[in-house]
Structure 1
Amino acid sequence: MKKHYNIGFLLTAEHSCFNAAFGLAHILQERGHNTVFFVYRESVFVQYVDQHGFKPIKIAPIVEPQATKHTIRRRFRLWKRFTEHGPNVLLKQNRLAALIEENSLDLCFLDDVRDDINLSSIVFAKMGVPTILVSYTFASRFLPEYPPIFSSLIPSDKAWSNLGSKFIYTMLWVWTIGTRGRAYSYDCFDYVEDSLRKLIDQIRDISFEPELRQLGMSSAWSEWKRRPQIPELVFGHRALDWPVIASNASRCYFGATDLSRKLADFDWSIVESGKHIVYCSISTARGFEKSRVSASEDATPIVDLSKKKFRMAKRYLEVVLDCFSRREDWQLIVACGPFFEAFRSSAHAPNTHIFERVPQLEVLKKADLAITWGGAGTVRECINFGVPMLVFPAWTDQFGNAARIVAHNIGKRGNILDVTATELIEMVESVLADKTIRASANEMRMQCNSEQEIQGVVDFVRRHTELTL
């Protein structure tokens, strides 16, 4: 039996997903395994992966006329379009198979929200490569025992409410599968268009079911994609997830932060000592955009805050800045990403420090509180440093993350639509003064044992693939 393996990561093109995977990949490298990341040839992630010490395997994007277009007859036979694979699917599968063979992969971690998750899992299965799903959120498969990650509901543990809860959870799942989430977070036309596209894609993914079953697998509905039911590794903390989901034997958790992640230093000389340090992160506009970052898209686009779809982000930032302009006994560090140019020239209080990006791990080491939308990456890293949170969810999984934070008393949740500067001051004061929240955050931090978690991953992989990492 081999002692060292060639391990691949096929992830969604988002920085938070890669950051989560780097922690596991570094540990695997230290154990002598060769880890590679599959990225599109023109993607910003080619350089990003290389900067963090890993080998990027470049995937050539498919463009017309590399694949034959649908015949005229097939274009009007809608059921055929739903149930038969087009030429692009076959071309993608052939290219992936060639890369697998070229790199002699022994194991692959496959992102559960990739558009090509089903076709990719089929290729890996046909080539005999064990595959583990990875998720950088607490997404799960459709079951009426718990709400989807898009929901802000906290599951009840009361036996008498079981039947009613199952009905509510089922309705929430139906809504989640067929839509993009809460409509108020997006432009109306984009919301309807993308919700229809998402529903059609989920239905179209059913066409992979016969082939999956022939290979001994099946698929299930989930929050973002219909996905194969194979073992799954979640880049998050088991203690934060709902018990009914965390008890799934086919689900493993790895919430350790990659402390070796290469980041720029932070100039602490600008921050006054003796004052509470509050970190606010709003470093992405992706939730408001029509799609995820493309292969050639810049990592931090400049956005126009006059556009209707950014009204919520604009108001949110204005409330945060107004809050801290009234409380100069606090220090605010803001990472506002694509919104940086719109706010850097505006006047702000001397206790407010605005950046495009900051080395988040470095800042969290000294932060007393984090104000966040509730993205999975920020939540995970706040927990690893024992930092309480104020969460103002805006879209998709942020609502489920906020519910978990409230349920475990490691922070509080606010309404991004109507919070005022005065209310935010009261919330900040409340969390900073609440010793139970600080104690709960520290208790969850103490449960973050990277050695135990990696051993859990090793045991999980061995149990499901017979590979000893």
Structure 2
Amino acid sequence: MATIVVSPIDQQGHVNPSLRIAKGLRERGHRVVYCGLADLEDFIKAEGFEFVPVLADLCPKGFQARVLEQVKELSGLRLYQFSREMDRQEERMLAAMQAGALDEPFTRLKPDLLLCDVMHPEPPLVAYGHKVPCVLLNTTLPMRREEGLPPLSSPLVPDGQLKTKLLIEAAWVRNTYRMRLRRLFRTRQVRHLLRLARRYGFPPEQLDFSGSTVSAWAPELVLCPREFAELGTSAGVPRGQYLYTGPSVDLERQEVDFPWERLREDRPLVLVYLGTLAFQTDLDARLFRHVLEVAARKPDWQFVLSLGRKLEVGAFDGVVPNVIAVRHAPQMAMLRRATAMITHGGFNSVKECISMGVPMVVIPMVYDQPGISARVVHHGVGVRAMPFQTTTESLLAQLDEVTTNPRYRSNVQAFRDRFRQAEELTPAADVIERFLERGAPAAARPVPTGRSA
């Protein structure tokens, strides 16, 4: 049996999709070891997996939480000084990686495969030097340019019309400009990756700087059936190295406690969750206040607000009698009872709604969420509310639409069945095992010693 190292981003939306895959591999007898920043350790070990921390001297356990707390309290000059310190912290981390800080898991574990988050550019380069093959874990949809598809930052849905085609092309032009501008201002990271590639013998031409993130060219697991990723005229277009699998939703993952005694079994339930980003924005607060006003209009319904780290629970909990606000709600358990969900359109939340047969109102905020919302609209599993145009009246109308029009529940149940079929026919563990059979890349070089130049 193989030893497989999993290297996720330290965010809930990136860790959760890996758990179903890791459990499937463990059930088949493989040894699965997680590797990442120390803040992940307790959560991963609670799921029963081994964990190897990296960069622990620079980022000890609790480091990220302390940073987030400090950011909330700072402004003006103090915030600027803090950002400069974080800039120096990044320099220290890059220097440590150049000096071989990521070697230890490979030398100690001697893994047969690295399963690495697509947003982690360094581990695949190190794995290459250790002759360890790599599969990228894409926790959203494909981010590279595909014929007929808009970038994930766009809410456009292809319909074959010339106007829409021109808008899609314009969206790619804007996206390319943003990426080039971002690369211009991130020359340090580019130089760092090129130096790391030289250190580990990774061909620099196989570094992809064209997408929303910098990554090594490698096969990518896309955790959904291919037809969900498609949008109309893009269907059937070749997908390069994308490996579509089942949705890998961990239906049995451990979740936080909740005051269940406050819920009524005889009332429809709406779950409201707008993502895990740590910073508070005026938009978040305004949208949650709209939900309070919607709840006041629907006194016979129940609303559970999962606020994350953005807002204070006391400002929302019980302000309207049928509203329960918590910092973190057990999402899978909630969706088993929910009539609808109001969501930011994170890929995991959308897949979990589909897996539970729950239609949704999507309010896309940033990153890939506009593109995810386009799939929700295209496949008829929910409706979309643009965040800066959302009012109490419009949100109330959209919630009524998805809960009273039977086509949304019918569509989401049809996709739920397709998700279950895909999980049975093409689980990610199957795809990974087939990849393992091919062995390590022949061109990999020996691991270098000493510091890079």
Q: Same fold (TM over 0.5)?
A: yes
Which residue of structure 2 lines up, in the alignment, with residue 99 of structure 1? 105
SS in structure 2 opposite 1:174? helix
Cα 1:409–1:346 change in 2 (3 A) is: closer
Give the C-alpha shift of residue 226 in structure 1. 1.9
Q: Say whether the 8 Å CA contact 1:324–1:332 is kept in structure 2.
A: yes
Give the C-alpha shift of residue 139 in structure 1. 3.9
Which residue of structure 2 lines up, in the alignment, with residue 81 of structure 1? none
Cα 1:406–1:443 change in 2 (3 A) is: same
Give the C-alpha shift of residue 373 in structure 1. 1.0
SS in structure 2 opposite 1:172? helix
Q: Which amino acid aligns with 1:251?
A: Y
Which residue of structure 2 lines up, in the alignment, with residue 397 of structure 1? 368
CA distance in 1 between partners of 2:194 and 2:204 (Å): 16
CA distance in 2 between partners of 1:238 and 1:144 (Å): 15
Give 1:221's match in structure 2, choosing from 194, 209, 212: 209
Q: Report matched runs for 1:94-243 at 5 Å.
A: 94-114=100-120, 117=121, 119-143=122-146, 145-157=148-160, 164=166, 167-178=169-180, 197=185, 201=189, 205=193, 215=203, 218-242=206-230
Which residue of structure 2 lines up, in the alignment, with residue 36 of structure 1? 33
Which residue of structure 1 lines up, in the alignment, with residue 332 of structure 2? 361
Cα 1:88–1:265 change in 2 (3 A) is: closer
Gapped runs of 5+ residues in structure 1?
65-84, 181-194, 289-302, 304-309
Q: Which amino acid aligns with 1:155?
A: P
Task: Give the TM-score of the pair, scaled to structure 1.
Answer: 0.77
Cα 1:16–1:429 change in 2 (3 A) is: same
Cα 1:163–1:388 change in 2 (3 A) is: closer
RMSD: 3.2
Give the C-alpha shift of residue 411 in structure 1. 0.5
Which residue of structure 1 lines up, in the alignment, with residue 273 of structure 2? 281
CA distance in 2 between partners of 1:91 and 1:28 (Å): 29
Per-residue Cα deviation, 1:183-219 (whole angstroms, up to 9, x for no partner): xxxxxxxxxxxx9645764586566677899649713
SS in structure 2 opposite 1:338? coil
Cα 1:87–1:47 change in 2 (3 A) is: closer
Q: Say whether the 8 Å CA contact 2:246–2:423 is kept in structure 1.
A: no
Per-residue Cα deviation, 1:27-81 (whole angstroms, up to 9, x for no partner): 111111111111223x2x11111111111111134659xxxxxxxxxxxxxxxxx
Task: Give the TM-score of the pair, scaled to structure 2.
Answer: 0.79
CA distance in 1 between partners of 2:395 and 2:156 (Å): 22
CA distance in 1 between partners of 2:417 and 2:211 (Å): 30
Which residue of structure 1 lines up, in the alignment, with residue 405 of structure 2? 434
Q: Say whether the 8 Å CA contact 1:236–1:254 is kept in structure 2.
A: yes
1:258 and 2:258 equivalent? Answer: no
Q: Report matched runs for 1:284-323 at 5 Å.
A: 284-286=276-278, 288=279, 310-323=281-294
CA distance in 2 between partners of 1:315 and 1:87 (Å): 37
Q: Say whether the 8 Å CA contact 1:256–1:450 is kept in structure 2.
A: no
CA distance in 2 between partners of 1:344 and 1:49 (Å): 32
1:21 and 2:18 equivalent? Answer: yes
Q: Which amino acid aligns with 1:35?
A: V
CA distance in 2 between partners of 1:269 and 1:156 (Å): 47
Which residue of structure 1 lines up, in the alignment, with residue 306 of structure 2? 335
Which residue of structure 2 lines up, in the alignment, with residue 82 of structure 1? none
Cα 1:402–1:163 change in 2 (3 A) is: closer
Per-residue Cα deviation, 1:3-48 (whole angstroms, up to 9, x for no partner): x11101111110111111011101111111111111223x2x1111
Per-residue Cα deviation, 1:220-273 (whole angstroms, up to 9, x for no partner): 235432211110012344332126488415212341311221124544442223
Cα 1:403–1:168 change in 2 (3 A) is: same
Give the C-alpha shift of residue 145 in structure 1. 4.0
Q: Say whether the 8 Å CA contact 1:374–1:399 is kept in structure 2.
A: yes
Cα 1:454–1:25 change in 2 (3 A) is: farther
Identical aligned residues as a percent: 22
Q: Which amino acid aligns with 2:328?
A: R
Per-residue Cα deviation, 1:248-300 (whole angstroms, up to 9, x for no partner): 152123413112211245444422233321110135233x4xxxxxxxxxxxx
CA distance in 2 between partners of 1:352 and 1:410 (Å): 25
Cα 1:271–1:199 change in 2 (3 A) is: farther
CA distance in 1 between partners of 2:171 and 2:406 (Å): 33
Give the C-alpha shift of residue 413 in structure 1. 0.6
Aligned residues: 404
Q: Say whether the 8 Å CA contact 1:96–1:123 is kept in structure 2.
A: yes
Give the C-alpha shift of residue 104 in structure 1. 1.7
